[in-house]
């Protein structure tokens, strides 16, 4: 049962659907009752019609054993046949059978009708929980995981779980009722024949369990390879320009084909194991039926069992096989679904390393300064060894000042600013805003103080206006236009086919790099934050676009506390202070004019860029 723990966690969501479960249970009980009662009507009448059993001259005493009850029912049927006539009795029984069949199927439909909201409701809640978890996980979770694999877990793994839930819920509620009622009927008819069936059951359970364990292992491997397939596809779509530029189409195609081939082979093994459970249970069920026919036939020949009762037993036993097969099939489905459930529960169980304090303080203004006090940071590498990124950072940023952070690639510049909105938490030391440690601050209120403009613009397949407002309905169109004018974006927006209502495509693909960057700046302007973080906001732009964006940034930075990460040193000459990072440590600090003549790291960077 340990292998089924992940999928069993899914069924905890059943507590939200108590009403639907109760109705499904009631309707399935009624379905089984009328299904069984239809055979109870036909078998005695057929026996009487063909004269298979003689009828007593006087009414037998009613008893609850199988023989007494059968004789009592036959005597009354005989009386009805004599008083109403054979054809009228036949019509009455046929009508009763039809009524039972209609009611049985009606209740079967109603049972399935109330199963649908349970199944879809569970998957809906799972999707919501996973999406919510993704939105609150730290940035480090996405830097170590592949986006394609995460998308595979939210799509294909959930589909597997959904089908597992469908099969299991049907078997969990309806099939046990069928099995209990049919088994009780078989025990009532002939306990000895039923014991024969039980003798075969342990072998069936053992064989199906072995098949299920193998299925789970293959399913887990298949889902992992499907995640690799999605990740490769997503990387290829993002990097299609590089693939074409370096003539790597054939190589990428071969790489994708190899992963696809491995996935297909794994899924063939999954399918062969999954399909094995059905024929296996069919063969074992047939084996049981043959044994019952032989032993039961001997009982009839020896006079220990009535022929009609034996026929009734065989029919009910045959009706018992499908629900048993369904449970066997659902067990295999559970094994496959459990492998998929384990993958997305890895997301739900992921540690929220950025945890808000229970008594977190809401910050509604920034008045004095930001202080980095003996801050160090490192992350865990793939081999489990800690990789240091920042060491003993001490930095004070007063309100209204602009501080630039420069240094060679890998120096830790982006990590330094990512610690401020708590995308990560420092491993040593602390950061304070107006004297309040970040770990004691309410995270949403802290981030509300900041506007962030990065090198890679985060835009959505929506209108220009909605991208600037970023889903906030509290902003009017006049406010959106004013923010766009400050960012130098109003002119090109007005020239678009539908102006501010133009849909800009996935990630703003219909716009140029400079236009996308100015929309990001307009978004920050609209938010009107007291603290501004610019992470190489112009490094990927051409000279003309950089000039336009730089003017927009100067408008945005006016009167704000700004932290600027700059690759092009020409953009930070007016900063109040420049901090130079190297190997995670502050090696220089001062103004542009001071550092330019210092002969240190900054002046060497300046020389390499031929800055005058």
Give tens-digit pLDDT for 465-492: 888 887 566 778 888 888 888 777 888 8
Top pLDDT among 528 and 441 is at 441
Is residue 354 domain-resident? no
pLDDT at 611: 45
Is residue 54 domain-resident? yes
pLDDT at 240: 62
Among residues 508, 528, 548, the one where a domain terminates is 528
Residue 432: pLDDT band by 50, 70, 90 thresholds?
very high
Average pLDDT over residues 43-52: 57
Top pLDDT among 138 and 262 is at 262
Is residue 211 domain-resident? yes
Nearest CA-CA partner of 586 in 462, 419, 416: 416
What stretches of 239-306 show up as alpha helix (H) in DSSP? 240-245, 249-301
Number of separate domains in the chain: 3
What pTM did the predictor assign?
Answer: 0.61
Tell me the CATH number at 338. 1.20.1560.10
Residues 242 and 317 in one domain: yes
Residues 509 and 534 in one domain: no
Among residues 316, 348, 380, the one where a domain terminates is 348
Tell me the CATH number at 391. 3.40.50.300
Please state, for a pLDDT cut of 70, what percent of the chain lies above it: 67
Is residue 403 domain-resident? yes
Residues 193 and 249 in one domain: yes
Residue 370: pLDDT band by 50, 70, 90 thresholds?
very high
Residues 244 and 207 in one domain: yes
The Cα 611–Cα 572 span in angstroms is 12
pLDDT at 431: 92
Residues 195 and 264 in one domain: yes
Q: Per mean pLDDT, which range of 139-143, 286-290, 372-376, 524-528 is the poorest?
A: 139-143
Residues 121 and 165 in one domain: yes
pLDDT at 200: 63
The Cα 528–Cα 524 span in angstroms is 6
Q: Interior CA angle at 62 toward 61 and 66, to 5°?
A: 115
Q: Which helix (H) or strand (E) holds 378?
A: strand 369-380
Residue with tokens 């694999």: 149
Q: Which one-letter DSSP state was computed for residue 56?
A: -
Is residue 37 domain-resident? yes
Residues 65 and 32 in one domain: yes
pLDDT at 263: 74
Residues 515 and 539 in one domain: no
pLDDT at 454: 77
Residues 508 and 444 in one domain: no
- Answer whether 40's CB lies under 8 Å from 30's CB: no
Residues 154 and 293 in one domain: yes
Please state whether beta strands 561-565 and 531-535 pair in parallel, antiparallel, or not at all (unpaired): parallel
Residues 281 and 135 in one domain: yes
Is residue 365 domain-resident? no
Is residue 543 domain-resident? yes
Average pLDDT over residues 144-150: 62
Among residues 300, 316, 348, the one where a domain terminates is 348
Residue 32: pLDDT band by 50, 70, 90 thresholds?
confident
Residues 267 and 390 in one domain: no
Domain interval for residue 551: 372-449+529-612
Average pLDDT over residues 146-162: 70
Per the structure block, which two tokens stand in for 417? 């600013």
């Amino acid at each position: 049962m340990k292998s089924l723990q992940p999928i069993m966690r899914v069924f905890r969501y059943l507590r939200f659907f108590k009403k639907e479960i109760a109705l499904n249970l009631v309707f399935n009980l009624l379905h089984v009752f009328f299904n069984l009662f239809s055979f109870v009507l036909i078998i005695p009448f057929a026996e009487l019609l063909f004269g298979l059993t003689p009828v007593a001259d006087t009414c037998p005493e009613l008893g609850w054993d199988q023989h007494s009850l059968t004789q009592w029912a036959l005597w009354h049927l005989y009386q009805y046949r004599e008083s109403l006539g054979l054809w009228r009795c036949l019509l009455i029984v046929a009508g009763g059978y039809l009524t039972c069949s209609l009611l049985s199927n009606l209740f079967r439909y109603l049972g399935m009708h109330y199963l649908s909201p349970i199944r879809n409701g569970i998957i809906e809640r799972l999707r919501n929980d996973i999406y919510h978890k993704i939105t609150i996980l730290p940035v480090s979770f996405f830097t170590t995981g592949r986006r394609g694999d995460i998308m595979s877990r939210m799509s294909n793994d959930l589909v597997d779980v959904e089908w597992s839930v469908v099969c299991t819920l049907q078997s969990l509620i309806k099939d046990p009722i069928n099995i209990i009622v049919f088994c009780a009927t078989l025990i009532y008819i002939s306990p000895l024949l039923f014991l024969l069936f039980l003798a075969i059951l342990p072998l069936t359970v053992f064989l199906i369990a072995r098949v299920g364990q193998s299925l789970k292992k293959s399913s887990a491997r298949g889902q992992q390879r499907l995640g690799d397939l999605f990740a490769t596809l997503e990387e290829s779509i993002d990097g299609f320009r590089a693939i074409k530029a370096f003539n790597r189409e054939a190589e990428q195609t071969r790489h994708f084909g190899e992963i696809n081939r491995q996935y297909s082979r794994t899924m063939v093994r999954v399918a062969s194991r999954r399909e094995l459970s059905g024929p296996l249970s069919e063969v074992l069920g047939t084996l049981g039926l043959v044994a019952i026919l032989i032993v039961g036939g001997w009982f009839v020949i020896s006079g220990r069992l009535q022929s009609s009762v034996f026929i009734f037993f065989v029919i009910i036993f045959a009706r018992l096989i499908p629900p048993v097969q369904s449970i066997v099939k659902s067990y295999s489905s559970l094994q496959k679904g459990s492998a998929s459930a384990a993958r997305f529960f890895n997301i739900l169980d992921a540690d929220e390393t950025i945890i808000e304090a229970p008594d977190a303080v809401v910050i509604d203004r920034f008045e004095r300064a930001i202080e980095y006090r003996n801050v160090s940071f490192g992350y865990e590498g793939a081999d489990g060894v800690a990789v240091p990124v920042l060491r003993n950072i001490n930095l004070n940023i007063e309100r209204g000042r602009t501080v630039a952070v420069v240094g060679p690639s890998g120096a830790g510049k982006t990590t330094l600013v990512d610690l401020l909105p708590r995308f990560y938490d420092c491993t040593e030391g602390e950061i304070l805003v107006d004297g309040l440690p970040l770990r004691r601050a309410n995270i949403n209120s802290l981030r509300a103080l900041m506007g962030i403009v990065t090198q890679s613009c985060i835009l959505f397949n929506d209108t220009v206006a909605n991208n600037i407002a970023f889903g906030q309905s509290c902003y009017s169109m006049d406010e959106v236009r004013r923010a766009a004018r400050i960012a130098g974006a109003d002119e090109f927006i007005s020239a678009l086919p539908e102006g501010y209502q133009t849909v800009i495509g996935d990630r703003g693909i219909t716009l140029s790099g400079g236009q996308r960057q100015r929309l990001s700046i307009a978004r920050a302007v609209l938010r009107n934050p007291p603290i501004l973080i610019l992470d190489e906001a112009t490094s990927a732009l051409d000279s003309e676009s950089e000039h336009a964006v730089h003017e927009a940034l100067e408008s945005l930075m006016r009167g704000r506390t700004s932290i600027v990460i700059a690759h092009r040193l020409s953009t930070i000459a007016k900063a109040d202070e420049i901090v130079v990072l190297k190997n995670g440590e502050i090696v220089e600090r001062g103004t542009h004019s001071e550092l330019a003549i210092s002969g240190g790291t900054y002046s060497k960077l300046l020389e390499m860029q031929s800055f005058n």
